[in-house]
Amino acid sequence: MKTTAIAALLLAGLNAVAGDASQAVFGAPNVNAATFAPVGTLDVLSESSFTTLAHPEFPQYSVRMKKSNFCDEGVGAYTGYIDIQARHLFFYFFESRSNPDKDDVILWTNGGPGCSSGIGLLMELGPCRVVNADNGTVHHPESWNSNANIFFIDQPIGVGFSYADYGEYVSTTEEAAQDIAAFVAIFFAHFSKFQGRGFHMSGESYAGRYLPVFAAAVYDQNPRLIKAGMPPVNLTSVMIGNGMTDVPSLYPAWYEMQCSPASLPPVQDIKTCVQMKAALPRCTKWTKESCQDQFDLINCGAAMRFCFESIYAPYIATGLNNYDISKKCESDNLCHVEIEEIVKYLNQEEVQAVLGVKVAEYNSCSDAVGYNFALTLDIMKGATEYVSALLERGVPVLIYVGTYDWVCNWVGNQAWTLALEWSGQAEFASQPLREWTVNGKRAGKTRSAKGFTFATVDGAGHMVPYDKPKQSLEMVNRWITGQPL
């Protein structure tokens, strides 16, 4: 999707061919657990062809993986596909620059729904960045693989380099979660050196809906893995950046960000603010009745349409960047011209050859995926209950937000974190916001209790690792090592 990705998704109301054939097959689906043969080490993977990994516990799934020498020549770099019969999810994997044999593992997904994690890789937190497609990539010193091994996944089916053979698609987060959980289990089963490592699930934007559900699927799957003699996944935390975890909390927050000095002086004219203020009670009441108290697909869709036309559309009409309220929108690719260069780069034949992919056209975001999710109103299912359940089971959750983001802003994210019902709610809500610093300088504000942390990042927009790379890396390093912000 383009500049108004989420607006287009909700106001509407509602492929590719793989590269080389496999080199070898390990733990194929037709063997039993007793004869399962794990790969054991990444060293056996080839640069010229894919190696196929499977496990009898997941007969409908397999993983193709190869060395790619892509992006960061100083570490092991790999690409591959998660094959779910006729569906194929593409991923990148980079080993840690520090200590790959001991460092934790991070999974990253972008949002949309329908946007490629190539954005996260090549613009935000990956080992390299694309500034000019014709000049290739440049080294990114503040990459999150500085102290962690990291995956970037194009999901669900139809996103980025991911594809389906016969037009299959996924239209709900719960469906997508099963594919991610199976992939994670197969990966850890095959590569023994990563077993038991801390595993962190991270992402931004619509990943605020994805990640709590994905993490729950990974957590709930562990008893099955243990029963099958597989290593359980050490789900250590969830990290959500500028997430769309609870849409109803964003409606009044969109008004506040436009019409009050929540982050910057008001950007909207007084007449429009008055009109939006008058529409808010109807918006919130209608949403509560038709989307929350009792989910009604038709009425919930109508409520969302009203809310977006009343509160979202006026902001888009200003021409401002809905991912950074301090800037004008400069591109049809999520308002960022940098993404245009990424698209050009990933459409180069020589780049796709290194990755092991071949597509008719790589796009940063898929309108078709967004539309399919819109038809189920997946976005209104929310994920706060999943966050609560994870916290109750001892899985820490970090919610971080750039203060200049408009679409998934800090006001709305703070609101739902304070309202979240769980055993630590009173302690969390009673904590005042305090400053957190990097190199002695304020980086933002934070509150935390019993494994739940909310943090703002000053001066960052929707894509925090892009806008504030040093602060975001310090935040992640502290988080995965158990240090307070």
Catalytic residues: 205, 405, 462
The helix/strand/coil state of 234 is coil
Neighbours of 331 (CB within 10 A): 14
Taking the alpha carbons of 231, 232, 234, 239 in that order, is the dihedral positive or negative?
positive
3 state SS of 393: coil
- The dihedral formed by the CA atoms of 362, 368, 373 and 377, expressed in degrees to the nearest 10: 140
Residues 456 and 444: beta-carbon distance below 8 Å: yes
For residue 13, what are its two tokens? Answer: 């109301």
Measured in degrees and rounded to the nearest 5, phi and psi for residue 223 equal: -55, -40
Largest CA distance in the chain: 71
Pick from 201, 202, 197, 181: which is nearest to 234 by CA?
A: 197
Residue 484: burial class (beta carbons within 10 Å; 0-12, 13-18, 19+): exposed
Contacts of 364 (CB under 8 A, 6+ apart): 115, 116, 118, 119, 160, 333, 334, 339, 342, 343
Nearby residues of 223 by Cβ (< 8 Å), 6 or more positions away: none
Determine the angle formed by the axes of helices 173-190 and 207-227, rounding to 10 degrees.
50
DSSP annotation string for 19-87? -SPEEEEES-TTS-GGG------GGG--SSSEEEEE-TT-TTEEEEEEE---S-TTS-EEEEEEEETTE
Q: Distance between CA 293 and CA 283 in Å, rounded? A: 14
